[in-house]
Amino acid sequence: MDPLLLAAVAIGAVLVLLALRVPIAFCLGTVSALGLITFFSWRPGGAFDLERGIEPALTLIGSAAYSFVHSYPLSMIPLFIGLGHVAYHGGITTDLYRALRIWLGRLPGGLAMASVMGCAGFSAITGSSVACAAAMGRITVPEMLRYNYSPRLASGAVAAGGTLGSLIPPSLLFVIYAIFTEQSVKVLFLAGILPGILSLAGYLITIAVWTWRRPEDAPKPDTTFTPGDVREAVAGTWPTVVLLAVVIGGIYLGVFTPTEAAAVSFVIAVILGFARGRLTMASLVEAARDTVVQTTMIFLIALGAKVFTTFVSLTRVTPAVLDWLQSVDAPTVMVVAGLVVFYLVLGMFLDSIGILVLTLPFTVPLVTGYGLDLVWFGVIVIKLLEIGLITPPIGLNVFVIKSVTPSSVTLGQIFRGVSWFLLLDGVVLLLLLAVPALSLFIPGTVD
């Protein structure tokens, strides 16, 4: 069977099954596993020969799945998710959010602004956007709903805010990008800071415009605060500052690697929680249970996506698309535009890590061939992958927000809420594309 046709059939089958409510992990995993068996059993021009195909297919499924879970760097994911839950149960994140809420609560849409600011703060102590969305989502969304914010604004703001997790260092995606392009992790981390702040500004503007157009979506809370409240709230943020110093300081000063930062900050958060009397054995167990359940759920999806990515890679759909891009023989602007569209489309369906692994071997030579900067391109790709986390039909951040908020909030509502934020993300993306200095300025000051 022609590999490109096989890939097209598989992608079609995935879309149909997704629409039929088949869990994403099962859908991607089963279709791609069957796709792999077909690929190896039914070679172009030959007859279907299962006996010949089953062995390589099973080996490939096994190696893709097993090496994905049997991974040291990816232990960052449960650890940073765990940090989020422990910070939540230990009151660390609540304190941060409370302080931000007191500072910003009086503004129109202040609770939503406090939420995305909280996301930005939490991004600096987590390496994964999904972990970021999960941790902030479960605190801020119920809080906003309690103050009668519209579910769309409440969930959309945090789903979008969560995407700061990979742009603002530490960032698992930058680490993977660094490995593939042999760029310095530190330089990439530094490069992500300004674009992260810019994205944050975009989200704040979105909220301001939203609440200006539809004030009923964000009723002003009727609570007032005394200067004493404010002082107390500020004082309550010190654990966040400590964790931030451990993670960011530790990584920047090179005291430890991002994975080590994840483990150390997780352990510190547990110790702080007990020391401050905010964490009990029971709540630690609850945090741990939430962590492993969520980690498993996310890893299963990512694992399905990994098998799918392997299948797609084998069928050579990616180079076919890239060949076509190259055959147009377009000027740089066109190539960059093509790459942007390419990553946006992939981001609609595939998981971020899978996309990186699948595309970088092909796009990096294209990018360097056109004399473009790989650090800058890294920032662009990560931003595009972040956008992919909130675009339908498969938006991992949206699903995570869904999983940690009351079931009355529907996926449709979250996607609709996110669409406002996507608009400003587009503007930020254009700025990053047009002005490489936004990405390269900070790393330039350090070297």
Partner 1 sequence: MDPVSHELPPVEATKGERLLGALSMVGLGLLALIVTVTVVSRWVGRSIIPDDVLLVQELMVAVILLPLGLVTAARQHISVEVFTARVSPRTLAVLSALGHGLGLLFALLLLAAGAKGFLGAWKTQDYYNGVLHIPMWIGQAVFVFAMVLFALRLAIMIVHDLRRLGAGKA
Partner 2 sequence: EAVTLRFSDYGPNRGTRAEAMEWFADQIKERSGGSMDVEFFWGGSLLGGKDTLKGVGDGVADMGTVVGFFTPRELRAYNIGDLPFENSDMWVGLRAMHDLARENEALGKEFADANVVYVTNYTTGPVQLICTKPVETLDDLKGLKVRASGPYGDALAELGAEVVRMSQSEVYQALDSGLIDCNQNYYYSMKGYKQYEVAPHVLEMDWGQNMSFGIVMNKFAYDGLGDAEKKVLAEVAADFEDHLAQLMMEEQAKVKAEMQEGIDGKSIEVVVLPPDEKKRLMDMSSKQIDEWSREASQDGLDAAAVIADYRDRIAAYQKELDARGYPWTR
Residues that bind partner 1 (CB under 8 A): 17-27, 29-30, 33-34, 55, 58-59, 61-63, 65-66, 69-72, 74-75, 78-79, 82, 255-256, 259-260, 262-264, 266-267, 285, 288-289, 291-293, 295-297, 299-301, 304, 393-394, 399, 402-403, 407, 410-412, 415
- Out of partner 1, partner 2, Na ion, none, what residue 145 binds, judged by CB under 5 to 8 A for its kind, is none
CB 196, CB 167: distance < 8 Å: yes
175 closest CA partner among 243, 123, 128: 128
| Of 193 and 414, CB closest to partner 2 | 193
- Judged by CB under 8 A, the residue of 38, 126, 313, 391 near partner 2 is 313
Does the footprint of Na ion cover residue 259 (CB under 5 A)? no
Spatial CB neighbours of 108, under 8 Å, sequence gap ≥ 6: 208, 211, 212, 215, 218, 220
Backbone angles phi, psi at 336, to 5 degrees: -60, -45
Give Rg (Cα) of the chain: 22
CB 14, CB 317: distance < 8 Å: no
- Out of partner 2, Na ion, partner 1, none, what residue 24 binds, judged by CB under 5 to 8 A for its kind, is partner 1
Neighbours of 345 (CB within 10 A): 13
CA 247 to chain centre: 18
Does the footprint of partner 2 cover residue 49 (CB under 8 A)? no
- Out of Na ion, partner 2, partner 1, none, what residue 123 binds, judged by CB under 5 to 8 A for its kind, is Na ion
CA 185 to chain centre: 18
* Per-position x/- string for 357-396, each x denoting binding to Na ion as judged by CB under 5 A, each - no binding: -------------------------------x--x--xx-
| Of 12 and 44, CB closest to partner 2 | 44
- Out of partner 1, Na ion, partner 2, none, what residue 391 binds, judged by CB under 5 to 8 A for its kind, is Na ion
Cα–Cα dist 294/396, whole Å = 12
CB 168, CB 196: distance < 8 Å: yes
Least distance CB 315 / partner 2 (angstroms): 11
- Out of Na ion, partner 1, partner 2, none, what residue 388 binds, judged by CB under 5 to 8 A for its kind, is Na ion
Does the footprint of partner 2 cover residue 67 (CB under 8 A)? yes
Q: Show the tokens assigned to 170.
A: 């530490």
Backbone angles phi, psi at 237, to 5 degrees: -90, 0
CB 207, CB 152: distance < 8 Å: no
Least distance CB 374 / partner 2 (angstroms): 11
- Out of Na ion, partner 1, partner 2, none, what residue 233 binds, judged by CB under 5 to 8 A for its kind, is none
Does the footprint of partner 2 cover residue 298 (CB under 8 A)? no
- Judged by CB under 8 A, the residue of 30, 257, 283, 419 near partner 2 is 257
Does the footprint of partner 2 cover residue 75 (CB under 8 A)? no
- Judged by CB under 8 A, the residue of 20, 21, 51, 182 near partner 2 is 182
CA 220 to chain centre: 30
Q: Is 371 left (phi over 0), alpha (psi -120 to 50) or beta?
A: left
